[in-house]
A and B are shown apart, each in its own frame.
Chain A
Amino acid sequence: MDEQRAPEAQGKRGSQSVQSEPDASGALSLLMEGLSGAERALLQERLWALLARQVARFTQGDATSLPVERAETLYESACFTLRCWLDAERLPPRALLRGDLDDALRAGWTLLEGRVREAKTRYAEALRGAPPYASRALRDTLRGIAPFFARYDWRLAAQEIPAEIDYPLCHPVPEAYRGVQYVGEYLRRLLIEELLLARASAPRAEALLRRYYGEIEEPLVNLYEPVAACAIGLALAGQDPRALTITPEDAAALTARLNGLAAEEEQVGSVAATLRAAAETAADALALPMGEDRLYLAEWAESLWPRARASLRGGTMENGALDGDAAGSDALRGVFAF
């Protein structure tokens, strides 16, 4: 048999830890937001006709039928691409009820093609920016992303992620992200994390990570979280965030500050501003650029508070004394990586 006629995407969705199985109904629902029943029916009819033209185009008129799974992948790809185009153009789904859907799809392809180029640039930066103490998970993930740029097919399977991505981020990419949207966003966040690690002293950061995790080569752990938390903790304690070591004296000061924040929270309701200010102090010390790097750190600082508060309420921290054997102290150690 002429093997060149075999379906083009067979085997394309082989290994990928971030699976995006064909789910045409899910992709379609993204396009249907805010539409009336009649509008939904019309859009679905237009999408069906678009799919028929797609099938004819990509089989070069050789086939009028396809396996359901293949058709769903094509359909989902078109829906995903159109959704990206709508978002980029700031248009409502209703815009798909008029005009030429083929033109919209082509514009979407151009958009995705540009995003692949952006992701490729980010990928090159991420390779260069990996810390010298990068774990196996981080190295494997960086290697696992490489095939994406050769195998990603924005015309036929734009929603798929032909990559092996295991390294956990501090702020994970939302699961709703698909295709190049996911990979581009993953790399954007990874670059933010790598930059903070690069601005910290490598020996100090590595020592901190080994203290905190015990071992960093094999476990599937995030490298940014402890370093950032420690820097924020030091800022809260009034110390230099670059030290990346919380001494017993620093811990006592941090505990006192956190107890003060807990009381403040009861009175004024929020400690977010204080935590964000600590993150800003840490960002200044680490010379992080303005913008998304600082926002990322500030969000991490805020997310530390529920765990810190819970450890304070553990009953061992009220007097401000840090006891290495106390459960609450241990919990606080876990939060700020000391």
Chain B
Amino acid sequence: MENALASIRRGALIDALRNSNALSERYGMSLTEGQMQALADGCAAALADTGRIEFGAGVLPKLIEALCDSPYVDRVSYCDTLLAVQELFYYFKSESGDAFADDELVEALERAFNGPAQGATEYVAGLSPEELYRLWLNEED
């Protein structure tokens, strides 16, 4: 039964990724079917690692919308960047005790990635939730 539910959720995620291609293609970015499967696997692994459950298509479409026009992303690094940022999303979500709303965290990650990190996901990974929050807050001001 759990497999059936996971299959339903995975299907919803893949559908959402296909739809996201319509947006990202405007910026020259698109995901292949294989990359979509890899992102779905990465999503499942990140959720398992952080002890979380996700409903519906999840956060990946929002991450795509936030990062597909980044100056630090190209066709080659696009999927790997999404995989890494997706993992960071769930990490910070849990580490912050769910203090960030989804949209806030996506925005914070986008600002960190396109700002001080200059496209280095390792830099973003080195931030504390508080630093990420301050980054998001300062930008708000």
Contact = CB atoms under 8 A, between A and B. Distances in A.
A41 B1 contact: yes
Interface in A40-76: 40-41, 44-45, 48, 51-52, 55-56, 59, 62-69, 71
A2 interface: yes
A141 B8 CA distance: 47
Contacts of B5: 44-45, 48
Contacts of B76: none
B56 A52 contact: yes
Nearest to A7: B98
A45 B3 CA distance: 12
A176 interface: no
A67 B51 contact: yes
Contact of A68 (B4, B51, B133): B51
Of B52, B90, B129, chain A has the most CB atoms within 10 Å of the CB of B52
Contacts of B101: 5, 59, 62-63
Contact of A63 (B47, B57, B102): B102
Contacts of B129: 1
B140 interface: no
Interface string A173-187: 000000000000000
Contacts of B94: 67
Interface string B48-87: 0001111111110000000000000000000000000000
A65 B99 contact: no
Interface residues of B, number: 28
Contact of A1 (B51, B55, B103, B130): B130
B19 interface: no
Interface string A23-54: 00000000000000000110011001001100
Given A45-B8, A48-B8, A65-B47, A2 B54 contact: no
A71 B98 contact: no
A59 B103 CA distance: 12
A69 B97 CA distance: 13
Of A40, A48, A64, A68, chain B has the most CB atoms within 10 Å of the CB of A64
B18 interface: no
A6 interface: yes
A41 B1 CA distance: 7
Range, interface on chain A? 20 to 34
Contact of B97 (A7, A40, A56): A7
A45 B11 CA distance: 14
A1 B99 contact: yes
A261 B84 CA distance: 79
Given A41-B4, A67-B94, A62 B51 contact: no
A65 B1 contact: no
B96 interface: yes
A144 B131 CA distance: 42
Interface string A102-119: 000000000000000000
Contact of B98 (A45, A56, A63, A68): A63
A5 B99 contact: yes
B52 A65 contact: yes
Nearest to B52: A65
A64 B59 contact: yes
Given A2-B99, A7-B97, A7-B98, A40 B55 contact: no
A51 B55 CA distance: 8
B102 A64 contact: yes
B136 to A, nearest CB: 11
Contacts of A7: 97-98
A40 B1 contact: yes
A40 B4 CA distance: 12
17 contacts: A1-B97, A5-B101, A6-B97, A6-B99, A45-B5, A56-B55, A59-B101, A62-B102, A62-B103, A63-B98, A64-B58, A65-B58, A66-B52, A66-B53, A67-B53, A67-B94, A69-B51
The 4 lowest CB-CB distance pairs between A and B, nearest first, are A62-B101, A52-B55, A65-B54, A1-B99
Given A7-B97, A44-B5, A67-B94, 7 more contacts: A1-B96, A44-B1, A45-B8, A63-B101, A63-B102, A64-B55, A65-B93
